[in-house]
Structure 1
Amino acid sequence: MSRILVTGAAGGVGTLLRPRLARPGRTLRLLDVVPLEPAAGEESVRASVTDLPALVEACRDVDAVVHLGGISVEAPWAQILDVNINGTYTVFEAARRAGVPRVVFASSNHAVGYRTPAEYPLTADAPPLPDTYYGVSKAAGEALGALYHHRYGLDVICLRILTCFPEPPNPRALSTWLSPDDCGRLVEACLTVPRPGYRIAYGVSANTRGGWVSLAEARALGYEPADDAEVFAAKLVAEHGEPAPDDPVFAHLGGPFTASELDADHL
Structure 2
Amino acid sequence: MPATRTVLLTGAAGGLGTLMRGLLPAYGYELRLFDMAPVDGEPAAVTAELADKQAVREAVRGVDAIIHLAGISLEAPFDKILRANIEGTYNLYEAAREEGVGRIVFASSNHAVGFTPRPQGTAPLDASALIPVHTPRRPDTLYGLSKCFGEDLAQLFWDLHGVETVSVRIGSCFMEPSSVRMLSVWMSPGDGARLFHAALTAGDVGHTVVYGSSANTRLWWDLSTARALGYEPQDDSEQYAEKLIAEQGELDPANPDHAHLGGHFCTHPPMWPC
- Partners of 2:203 and 2:26 in 1: CA distance: 18
Pairs within 5 Å for 1:1-267: 1-23=4-26, 26-38=29-41, 43-117=44-118, 120-210=129-219, 212-259=220-267, 261-262=268-269
Task: State the Cα deviation string for residues 2-60 of structure 1 (Å, max 9, x = none).
Answer: 21000001111111111211047531001001111456xx9411111221111110011
Q: What letter matches 2:48 in structure 1? A: A
Pick 1 or 2: higher relative contact order, CA cutoff 8 A, min separation 6.
Answer: 2
Distance 1:174 1:144, change over 3 A: same
Distance 1:26 1:127, change over 3 A: same
- Partners of 1:115 and 1:15 in 2: CA distance: 30
TM-score (norm 1): 0.92
TM-score (norm 2): 0.90
CA shift for structure 1 position 226: 0.6
Q: How many residues align?
A: 261
Task: State the Cα deviation string for residues 49-72 of structure 1 (Å, max 9, x = none).
Answer: 221111110011100000000000
Q: What letter matches 1:250 in structure 2? A: H
Q: Which runs of 4+ in 1 moved over 2 A?
A: 23-26, 117-120, 237-250, 261-264
Gapped regions of structure 2 (runs ≥ 5) = 121-128
Report the RMSD for the aligned CA atoms in angstroms: 2.0
2:10/2:68 contact within 8 Å kept? yes
Task: State the Cα deviation string for residues 119-175 of structure 1 (Å, max 9, x = none).
Answer: 952211122111100000000000000011110001111000011111101111111
Distance 1:45 1:247, change over 3 A: same
Partner SS state of residue 218, structure 2: coil
Query: Which deviates the most, 51-60 or 16-25?
Result: 16-25
Partner SS state of residue 171, structure 1: coil
Percent identical among aligned pairs is: 49
Task: State the Cα deviation string for residues 75-94 of structure 1 (Å, max 9, x = none).
Answer: 01111111111111011111
Distance 1:248 1:60, change over 3 A: same
2:251/2:258 contact within 8 Å kept? no
Gapped regions of structure 1 (runs ≥ 5) = none
Partner SS state of residue 45, structure 2: strand
